Chain A
Amino acid sequence: MHPAFSVIFLTTLIGAGQGLFLALFSGQLYSAVNLLPAQSSSFYVTGSIIALVLMVGGLAASFLHLGRPERAWRAASQWRTSWLSREVIILPAVMGLVFVYGVLHFSGWQPDWFGNGIPHQPALIVGAVTTLAVFALYIATGMIYASIKFLQEWASVLTVINYTLLGAASGFTLATALAAWQGSGLVGFYGVWAVILTVAGLISRAASLYRNARIKYKSTVQTAIGMRHNAVVQKSMGMMGGSYNTREYFHGASAAFFKSVKYIFLVLVFPVPLALLWAGLEEVSVVLLGAAFLVQYIGLLFERWFFFAQANHPQNLYYQTI
């Protein structure tokens, strides 16, 4: 497939934003039961703003993908059948919930509903709902690709797992840098989870690379045109120039470039951020932890490019030669 930068930015930005929210809420949840030191409201407010900015950026990028963005509101109508429609509904819902979560922390409204003295109870409830919505959004985003069964590189549960783990990993890395910057006591907690999620992401992404390297394609040129003969070669695709079909379904990069992107993202998403996290956690360095997020995010851009480029659409069987 031809990787569209709008979709690359959409999936990586909202993935990191969702992961950052998960980090914020898990920090609050742990401190509510006194497993972690309590944080000031400003930490959650700043975190919510950053998560929102990431998701707004992703949403803006998604509009660039549309031919007719002025009609984007229509995209919410087919939630019964379309995973894209479901994503279109859940993404603004998550953004709204994160906004409410930040506002609740900002307001300082602290009713003691349960009579146990836990701070920020409304934010905890909204945060729990948001967490469910965040996971629903990871699933919706992944399923947009995993549900197309004949794009065999995508049609796997690993696609959903990768979107979730890699988004969460980049979000927790960002949360580690944020905690270091804000002088929060959660640096170690986030840092350890960032490492765990990054390693888990490496395992699942490696599994999908392994799986995709061994795919046996169901469609062949024989099934595409229905000729039962071993030697079938396309001689003409019926036109002199290109078409939508020749542009949309192939990445257009050289084999060497394509292969090098794989190694670039494998280095940038996993070992380099892990090393930076390790070094940054040693002396709680904002610069090193910030660099860990930046490198991982840039790596994820390569990862997403590769994800799209790797998918081999069966329609290419009809467009093999000019």
Chain B
Amino acid sequence: MTQLALVIDLNVCVGCHACVTSCKQWNTSGAAGPLFDENPYDKDPTGTFFNRVQTYEVGTYPNTETIHFPKSCLHCEDAPCVPVCPTGASYKRENDGIVLVDYDKCIGCKYCSWACPYGARELDEKEQVMTKCTLCVDRIYDESLPEAERKPACVMACPTNARLFGDVHDPDSEVSVAIREQGGYPLMPEWGTKPANHYLPRRKTKMHIHEDELVRVDNPLKKEDIRHKTTKDVTLDDWLL
């Protein structure tokens, strides 16, 4: 069985919000109509987004790291938002594991958003129906697009390639390999929701500088040694030293 998902590399994400804006652009111009926005250029702007980037600081000064943390619907394998829906508007597709909302059935009772521990669902204040990330279901199956572009808008937009998209149930897919080899992890595993989206952890980069890298041992001319014995015919190279 296929389970499509995103894998987000926190080691590479720079928090540029390109995924947020491309997601908003693609999904607000879709067949379902625009996503609500109020006071976009005014005080207290607010609106519906499927994807948001939050920023955390890890550690204490001066040893801190900044974590940019993009989060959208995680398309849980055991999605808690689905069974609570009283109308069946919230559903998980059998064939590819995408969790979707049928906007024509949703009554806007908000129960599914309460039942999502990740806060991945947002009520569209204008349409009064629940909205959420669709994994750009209208893009990824669009055969009029070149095959390389059949990916969610956020994946296409990411300038640092922090977002991977694929089938996490296929052990040979790019996303499965990344999860396996780079220690990909799910969010809030304590609730047993088994999110399909995974995050790749920050990686420590260490640099060892050895003594022989500071001294040019491999310099056949040993210019360092002749530094104090310059003669009248000083070359430019000598002068630099």
Query: Which of B49, B115, B188 is within 8 Å of A219, CB to CB?
Result: B188
Q: Is the CB of A232 within 8 A of B107?
A: no
Q: Is the CB of B114 within 8 A of A235?
A: no
Q: Is the CB of A1 within 8 A of B114?
A: yes
Bound-state CA distance A148–B84 (Å) is: 9
Q: Is the CB of B122 within 8 A of A245?
A: yes
Kindly list chain A residues whose C-beta atoms are within 8 Å of the C-beta of B146.
Answer: none
B162 to chain A, nearest CB (A): 15
8 Å CB interface, A229-267 against B: 229, 231-245, 248-249
Interface assignment of A318: CB less than 8 Å from any CB of chain B? yes
Interface assignment of B207: CB less than 8 Å from any CB of chain A? no
Kindly list chain B residues whose C-beta atoms are within 8 Å of the C-beta of A238.
Answer: 17, 20, 52-55
Interface size on A, residues (CB 8 A): 57
Kindly list chain A residues whose C-beta atoms are within 8 Å of the C-beta of B114.
Answer: 1, 148, 151, 313
Q: Is the CB of A82 within 8 A of B85?
A: yes
Kindly list chain A residues whose C-beta atoms are within 8 Å of the C-beta of B46.
Answer: 241-243
Interface assignment of A204: CB less than 8 Å from any CB of chain B? no
Q: Is the CB of B107 within 8 A of A66?
A: yes
B176 to chain A, nearest CB (A): 18
Interface assignment of A78: CB less than 8 Å from any CB of chain B? yes
Nearest residue, chain A, Cβ from B45: A241
A290 to chain B, nearest CB (A): 34
Chain B: interface secondary structure? loop
Bound-state CA distance A84–B88 (Å) is: 12
8 Å CB interface, A282-322 against B: 313-316, 318-319
Interface assignment of A218: CB less than 8 Å from any CB of chain B? yes
A234 to chain B, nearest CB (A): 5
Bound-state CA distance A67–B107 (Å) is: 6
Q: Is the CB of A149 within 8 A of B84?
A: no
Kindly list chain B residues whose C-beta atoms are within 8 Å of the C-beta of A241.
Answer: 39, 43-46
Interface assignment of B145: CB less than 8 Å from any CB of chain A? no
Kindly list chain B residues whose C-beta atoms are within 8 Å of the C-beta of A74.
Answer: 86-89, 105, 107
Interface assignment of A54: CB less than 8 Å from any CB of chain B? no
Q: Is the CB of B44 within 8 A of A144?
A: no
Bound-state CA distance A117–B13 (Å) is: 81
Interface assignment of A227: CB less than 8 Å from any CB of chain B? yes
Q: Is the CB of A225 within 8 A of B56?
A: yes
Interface assignment of B26: CB less than 8 Å from any CB of chain A? no
- Contacts A74-B107, A75-B107, A238-B20 hold; do A85 and B187 have CB atoms under 8 A apart? no
Interface assignment of B109: CB less than 8 Å from any CB of chain A? yes
Nearest residue, chain A, Cβ from B63: A231
- A66-99 CB mask vs B (1 if < 8 Å, else 0) is 1111011011111001111100100000000000
Interface assignment of B27: CB less than 8 Å from any CB of chain A? no
Query: Which of B49, B119, B188 is within 8 Å of A319, CB to CB?
Result: B119
- B7-26 CB mask vs A (1 if < 8 Å, else 0) is 00000000001001000000
Nearest residue, chain A, Cβ from B126: A67
- B92-115 CB mask vs A (1 if < 8 Å, else 0) is 000000000000011111110111
B173 to chain A, nearest CB (A): 21
Most buried by A among B56, B88, B110: B56
Kindly list chain B residues whose C-beta atoms are within 8 Å of the C-beta of A107.
Answer: none
A233 to chain B, nearest CB (A): 5
Kindly list chain A residues whose C-beta atoms are within 8 Å of the C-beta of B82.
Answer: 81
- Contacts A67-B108, A238-B53, A241-B45 hold; do A225 and B69 have CB atoms under 8 A apart? yes
Bound-state CA distance A76–B87 (Å) is: 7
8 Å CB interface, A93-126 against B: none
Query: Which of B44, B58, B87, B186 is within 8 Å of A77, CB to CB?
Result: B87
Query: Which of A84, A219, A231, A239 is within 8 Å of B86, CB to CB?
Result: A84
Kindly list chain B residues whose C-beta atoms are within 8 Å of the C-beta of A71.
Answer: 87, 105-107
The chain A residues found within 8 Å of chain B, CB to CB, are: 1, 65-69, 71-72, 74-78, 81-85, 88, 144, 147-151, 218-219, 221, 223-227, 229, 231-245, 248-249, 313-316, 318-319
Listed A/B pairs (17) with beta-carbon separation below 8 Å: A68-B129, A76-B86, A77-B88, A78-B88, A88-B86, A148-B115, A150-B117, A223-B187, A223-B188, A232-B56, A235-B55, A235-B66, A236-B55, A237-B52, A239-B49, A243-B47, A244-B122
Given contacts A78-B85, A81-B82, A315-B119, 4 further A-B contacts (CB under 8 A): A68-B108, A231-B59, A238-B53, A314-B188
The chain B residues found within 8 Å of chain A, CB to CB, are: 17, 20, 39, 43-49, 52-60, 66-67, 69, 71, 80, 82-89, 105-111, 113-119, 122-123, 125, 127-129, 185-191, 199, 201-202
